[in-house]
Amino acid sequence: MPLFVGSILVLFGLLNILLPGLVWFFSIGWQFRDAEPSDTALKVNRIIGYFLLIVGVCYILSFFFPSITA
């Protein structure tokens, strides 16, 4: 289970880091016509992406090295 959860978190983290505008559009932007994300919104999405990436890698490592987390 940690491998699946970690993979999903890494995937969402990379998506947030590489395409923050697309993530913004699918979360908030679709509600408005001709709206553009602010620089702050893009930076927050990237920060969330880095956090998700770190947590996902920790989950994956806990799958391969269970003695570290015990």
Q: Do residues 52 and 12 touch, judged by C-beta distance below 8 A?
A: yes
- pLDDT the model gives residue 70: 55
Query: Domains of the chain: which residue ranges?
Result: 2-69
What is the rounded distance in angstroms from the CA atom of residue 34 to the CA atom of residue 22? 14
- pLDDT the model gives residue 67: 78
pLDDT tens for the chain, 70 residues long, are 888 999 999 999 999 999 999 999 999 988 988 889 999 999 999 999 999 999 999 999 988 888 766 5
Which among 27, 63, 57, 62 has a CA at the least distance from the CA of 44? 27
- pLDDT the model gives residue 1: 83
